[in-house]
Amino acid sequence: SLMPSFMPTSEPSISSVPSVVPSASPTSFCDRFMGEQACLLVSCCDWNGKSCFFTAHAPPSSMPTISQEPSPTPTSEPSVMPSVVSSSIPTSKPSSMPSLMPSSMPTAKPSISSMPSAMPSSSPTSVCSRLTGEESCERVECCDWDGSTCFFSPGASFNFDHIGDSPKNSIIPVQKVGYSIAFTNQWTSANHPFSYPTDAHWSEFVYASHSSAYVMWRDQARASRGVELIAETGALGDLQSELATEDSVLDQVEAFGIEDAFDGATSFSKRDLCVDTDHPLVSGIGMIAPSPDWFSGVYNLPLWNRETQTWYRKVEVDVYAWDAGTEQGRDYNFSNRDTVPRGAISAFIPGDTERMVFVSVGQAGLPFLQVKPVGVLRFELQESSRNCV
């Protein structure tokens, strides 16, 4: 599958940059950023006055502030886990970045270099592997928890970006509720000009509510058979079968495809997605078509506010383009050879040239390369959802 050389306008991904060292040795990744401003926009990189170097801290200068309404009686509390990567030459970054960490924790993760008895920041994989618990792992920027071990994953923030005042809190503490889901297309020739296809469209989507014990897909994971088939062909059946056999999955719903991917074209879920406090996370996926194995969606997005013990009234996030790592190809087409051995799922990030899919040129004093969102996902609480009561 295409080795992505670009990604969301937030932070780029180390492991997915062409002709760059693997994520286990990302120090040369930061070297590619020319100038203090470009360097400091990237998580895990810092500026020493002359050059950009890897430090695994440099959290975003501004994080979103979520205003909370009065909270009702607490119920059970789920756990949440993030993940993702970063990379390239000057790139843009959203003004606010989301946090999948419990809101009782610091919004910005402490740097690896500030952790007690940590390995040198030039060996981030060792640093992450030394953290033995989920909570300590998720508090360190560029580390992520896979259910049993802590691993290096500097692109977690590219999973999604909250928009405006999202998420809006609710005062509803009930155990089980439903959410309507809408995906609005932003994958257009204006936003993603290089080689944009004349028959751009989206497959149907699948969304699932689940606990932190289940992962539909995530950055640096290997795609399951179900995820692979959606990314390559848009076929939903295998993933739906996987979801049906997972004890950690509460519910799954389909959403309509988009036959003509014009700006603002919208896909709606065929019914509300049920969630409860034991299954407060949502993941979803849909194929970018035509393409080798490219898709968009979201993983491990929390709909339950752990601090106030209430459901969010509305969650609205930008989502980006991802490569499933299962099929080769650098252009919008279906006929490609399998990737052998299979690669990891990775997001598209700005690379060395604007002549790459999903890349565009922004202007902010000096030109810079960027990857804009391919869509907006909106989840709205439905208090009277019949199938979830």
Q: What is the pLDDT of residues 184-213, one digit of tens each?
A: 999 999 999 999 999 999 999 999 999 999
Whole-Å CA distances, 154 to 25, 143, 186, 311, 369: 12, 7, 25, 29, 20
How many domains in the chain? 1
Higher confidence at residue 377 or residue 24?
377
- As a whole number, mean pLDDT of residues 33-47 equals 63
Q: Give the pLDDT score at 32.
A: 52
Amino acid at 65: T
- Domain contains 354: yes
For the ranges 48-62, 82-96, 287-301, 372-386, the one whose mean pLDDT is highest: 287-301
**Mean pLDDT in the chain?**
74
Contact present, 310 and 177 (Cβ < 8 Å): no
- CATH number of 196's domain: 2.60.40.2130
- Domain contains 347: yes
Q: Which of 138-152, 192-206, 241-255, 263-277 has the lowest mean pLDDT?
A: 138-152
217-240: string of b/e by CB count within 10 Å (b at 16+)?
Answer: bbbbbebbebbbbbbbebbbeebe
**Residue 95 above 50 pLDDT?**
no
- Domain contains 307: yes
Q: What is the pLDDT of residues 271-291, one digit of tens each?
A: 999 999 999 999 999 999 999
- Domain contains 227: yes
Q: What is the pTM of this model?
A: 0.66
For residue 295, give its domain range: 142-166+173-361+368-382
- At 240, give phi and psi (nearest 5°): -60, -35
- Domain contains 269: yes
- Domain contains 341: yes
- Domain contains 9: no
- Domain contains 129: no
CA nearest to 185, candidates 376, 321, 380, 358: 376
- Alpha carbon distance, N-terminus to C-terminus of the chain: 43
- As a whole number, mean pLDDT of residues 247-262 equals 97
